Structure 1
Amino acid sequence: MEMLREEDLKIMRKELFKYDQNRERVLKLTREAVRLTSRAITHIHRSEYPAARSDLKKAEQRIRRAESITGKDPWFPAHKNLLTAYQELAEAKILYEFAVRMEVPSLRDVNVEVVPYLLGLLDFIGELRRMTATSILKGDLKKAENAMNVMEGILDDLTMLNHTASVDSFRHKLDAARRIVEATRGDVVTEIRRWNLENALNRFEERVHLNRK
């Protein structure tokens, strides 16, 4: 015996079908956006800035389209994917602005909501470690030290924030960022000491060589 009205069942079938169709569209768009932001990050580390800009623009377009599909419906099943895409976009845009202008862009400049900006900043710390390692390999200790100082500054500022318990994964990412900063500090300090020692030995050898003359 049917307990529900046929009219209600028809409405539910229609809405579920619409939800499923829109869910697939959002998943496709957000997956494409994440792929594009990942590729943009690779371009940035290679100093391929025009290609990075192009990918970031395409990624943002896809995310905005996905957001227009979800609307303001709190029950929409793909909201988490949208947040992840925004977070990845924030990370890539922050990295791009830092690589090009050597400064951390503001919330307004990145043009996302607070939560993806926060999480993007924490992920950006990992990209700064990568940048620091590359700078050390190239012998650019000044750039490596600057990146390390930025990492420490971001970590200090975010550690002081209150009410972050409501942000999923914030604490986990903060702890991971803290470990990354500590490891990077160790790498930079070790390299600076090695460089100073090497320079001191070179100067000593030069003095010995001059005295022999």
Structure 2
Amino acid sequence: MEEILNKVENRLREINLVKEKTLALSREIILSCRKGIQDIHNGDLDDARKRLRVASRKVRNLYRLLEGFPELKNAGYIENAVQEYVEAKCLYSIERRKTIPDPDKIGVSYITYLLGLCDTIGELRRFSLDAMKEGEIDRANDYLGFMERIYNHIAEMDYPPALKRKRDIARSLIEKTKSELAVASCEKRIQDKIEEFRGFLDAVEKGKLREKGKLKKEMDLDVDRFW
């Protein structure tokens, strides 16, 4: 009995040591990926690429540490870190108008990949909202299109169980973004018409319409054409 318990104790000690190392590495991966995502939002794609390269190396190191320790491979902190990595990699590819990465090529499980991809929808919403604030409605609509394409592919999947909650959140984010984009589009059209009308008034004030007949015709304005 003593021999068996000693063996168990030694194994648990090894597991705990690996857990401490992988926990620290997981935090580093999350930090690198979050900074990379922020770089992408700021348009600093070169910095984002460098951070994701560092994160890729750390993910490989993480999985090497986990070899021989199946007890830890599906731990929550491991999954969270790798999902963050998947999310950052997908965002980077989308922003560069490239195909999203293959899970086999970036060395992650299909389940982890799917959950990380689902999280990408939330970040794409941020991109869309930023574009709306800048008045770039077409760009905002492009990001919404990416959100819908991702969602449409995962909508019929029932596995893994954790996907359902993320899928429901994604659907809610898409509907909110659609509504906000509709309002922003309407506001943009109104603003464009206001600017058009203001330009017409400026032209009149500067005396650009000198001919009386032409001026009379222009001043006999059909307001409906501006709205």
TM-score, scaled to structure 1: 0.86
**Residue among 53, 56, 59 paired with 1:63:** 59
Q: CA deviation at 1:106?
A: 4.3
Structure 1 counterpart of 2:209:
none
> If you compute each CA radius of gyration, which structure gives the higher value, 1 or 2?
2
Residue 40, structure 1, aligned to residue 36, structure 2: yes
Q: How many residues align?
A: 206
Letter of the 2:94 counterpart: F
Supply the distance in 1 between the matched residues of 2:80 and 2:114 (Cα, whole angstroms): 12
Q: CA deviation at 1:101?
A: 2.1
Residue 74, structure 1, aligned to residue 84, structure 2: no
| CA distance 1:105–1:7, change in 2 (3 Å) | closer
SS in 2 for 1:101: coil
Counterpart mapping for 1:103-182 below 5 A: 103-108=99-104, 110-161=106-157, 163-164=158-159, 167-182=160-175
SS in 2 for 1:47: coil
Supply the distance in 1 between the matched residues of 2:97 and 2:73 (Cα, whole angstroms): 38
Q: CA contact under 8 A between 1:63 and 1:86: conserved in structure 2?
A: yes
Supply the distance in 1 between the matched residues of 2:64 and 2:106 (Cα, whole angstroms): 19
SS in 2 for 1:96: helix
Q: CA contact under 8 A between 1:98 and 1:105: conserved in structure 2?
A: no
Q: CA contact under 8 A between 2:29 and 2:58: conserved in structure 1?
A: yes
Deviation readout 1:95-154 (Å, 9 max, x if unpaired): 011112265444455543211221112111111111011111112111101111111121
Letter of the 1:180 counterpart: L
Q: CA contact under 8 A between 2:15 and 2:69: conserved in structure 1?
A: no
Which region of structure 1 is more displaced relative to structure 2, 89-98 or 113-122? 113-122
Structure 2 counterpart of 1:212:
219
Q: CA contact under 8 A between 1:43 and 1:49: conserved in structure 2?
A: yes
**Residue among 49, 55, 59 paired with 2:45:** 49
Which region of structure 1 is more displaced relative to structure 2, 172-181 or 196-205? 196-205
Which region of structure 1 is more displaced relative to structure 2, 192-201 or 105-114? 105-114
Residue 83, structure 1, aligned to residue 79, structure 2: yes
Structure 1 counterpart of 2:18:
22
Letter of the 1:146 counterpart: D
Deviation readout 1:15-42 (Å, 9 max, x if unpaired): 1111111110111111111111111111
Q: Percent identity?
A: 26
Q: CA contact under 8 A between 1:30 and 1:82: conserved in structure 2?
A: yes
Which blocks of at least 5 consecutive residues in structure 2 are unaligned?
A: 205-214, 221-227
| CA distance 1:97–1:110, change in 2 (3 Å) | farther
Q: CA contact under 8 A between 2:135 and 2:188: conserved in structure 1?
A: no
Supply the distance in 1 between the matched residues of 2:16 and 2:106 (Cα, whole angstroms): 31
TM-score, scaled to structure 2: 0.81
Supply the distance in 1 between the matched residues of 2:165 and 2:57 (Cα, whole angstroms): 29
Which blocks of at least 5 consecutive residues in structure 1 are unaligned?
A: none
SS in 1 for 2:17: helix
